[in-house]
Amino acid sequence: MKIIDTYLKDLKIIEPLIHGDTRGWFSESYNDKEFKDMGLDFLFIQDNHSFSKEKGTLRGLHYQLEPKAQTKLIRCTQGKIFDVAVDIRKESETYGRWFGIELSSQNKKQLLIPKGFAHGFLTLTENVEVQYKVDELYSYDHERSIRWDDKELSIDWKITHPILSKKDSEAPFFKKSKDNHLKKILITGVNGQLGNDMFEKLSSEGYKIFGTTKSDMDISNIEQVEKTLNLFKPDYIIHCAAYTQVDKAENEQQQCYEVNVIGTSNLLKIAKNLNSEFIYISTDYVFDGSGIEEHCENKNTNPINYYGYTKKLGEEIVRESIGEHYIVRTSWLYGEKNNNFVKTMLNLADKNSSIKVVNDQVGTPTYTKDLAEFISDLILTKKYGTYHGVNNGFCSWAEFAKEIFSVLNIDVDVIPIKSSEYKTEARRPLNSRLGTSKMKNNVGYNLRDWKSALKEYLEKILM
């Protein structure tokens, strides 16, 4: 068995010795003693076997985070592949470089890929089988990926349109991977609509995530906050948790204040000690809703209900407490978790031929998946401050409802009414148009049109 060094540190080519005669051939594909004698001491605990039917199938680039990182011994037992390894060890002298080699059932070469490398391969023939050993079990929570066509890596795959899984086609670029895979993020309110999508998005980008609910950490209890944050020591805190029952807040002011104000203050006290960056999720309800123009990010706030008042106080505490912060105001959220306006409309449509919906409140329906993507990009910019994170365009609640039914071809009559005809405990702002110039100018980001986002959401929840 021959061991050949590559130009990437610790990455080895293995050439087994082939014994052949007129009957065929024999080879030892792995010999633990020989490996150890050559200083390659690994305890392989799992064998994997993959089959790819079509030529041009690309799998990767994949890796697992510590403590579940894997050493891999790759070989192609049927057909031919172009096998690629990328050094993603920040301390390595070959960090960010890639190596590629043709592995086939004919040449019987193998590639020994140590921990701290991303791996992928492209099938060069049809009906390809790849087998590999690993020294750590697969872990969904630690699995990460990098885009195959990342320009920063410039891997010469010699193909422009490979066959990809949905997961691989949506993998993050190396910049995010290299910035993220050692960073820790704590998300409060992870059981909410935005918190859930934030958890899924950031987990896929290489961060170590700790999501909390009230049962994990009551943010109004400073002792619980201190214990949890000091244990996890997050680099970022994304504060999605909030008391959001707008009407109940008018009569449950103490409960609302304890969560939205005291809870935020508690988190900030510990975040400051840990030098954690802070992302505070706020709302269009900090504005009074006057006029018809878009509210810009630096416009004076003037809430008209108690919920909005507590969110305004939360914003002020953030600005006063910590310099490295982001405040992201959003509006009319809907996501897969919990109830929302879209689900309410669909439930009502099952039981009614007509529905009354207010048409004098105007804002932007915002898909939590899109907002989560924006926030995940925003925290890498270090361009701190207040942003508005909403999809493009505006509509009334009645127009929102009509679009839901139009997309799904549901025959329901939406009857527009004024807010004065729909009595609620708390007043709602009539104008919730949030301008997004800071998002576009500072970050170069622009969320898609709300109708396009809604269509994707409906397809997803009803498929």
- Active-site annotation, residues: 62, 132
- Give the angle subtended at the CA of 132 by the CAs of 126 and 136, to the nearest 5°: 145
Find, among 274, 286, 281, the residue nearest to 432 by Cα.
Answer: 286
Q: What is the 3-state secondary structure (H, E, C) of 236-273?
A: EEEECCCCCCHHHHCCCHHHHHHHHHHHHHHHHHHHHH
Query: Which two structure tokens, joined as six digits, stand for 149?
Result: 């066509």
Find, among 202, 221, 250, the residue nearest to 369 by Cα.
Answer: 202
d(CA 148, CA 154): 9
**Coil, helix or strand at residue 338:** coil
Find, among 261, 362, 357, 251, the residue nearest to 305 by Cα.
Answer: 251
Q: Which helix (H) or strand (E) holds 432?
A: none
* Cβ–Cβ < 8 Å for 200, 178: no
d(CA 267, CA 318): 10
Q: What are phi and psi of 64, to 5 degrees?
A: -125, 145
Rg (CA), the chain: 27
DSSP 23: T
DSSP 391: -
What residues does 357 pair with on adjacent strands? 416
Residue 53, judged by CB atoms within 10 A of its CB (0-12, 13-18, 19+), counts as exposed
* Other beta carbons within 10 Å of 18: 11
d(CA 248, CA 326): 28
- Give the angle subtended at the CA of 90 by the CAs of 117 and 207, to the nearest 5°: 80
d(CA 342, CA 325): 31
Q: What are phi and psi of 91, to 5 degrees?
A: -85, -5
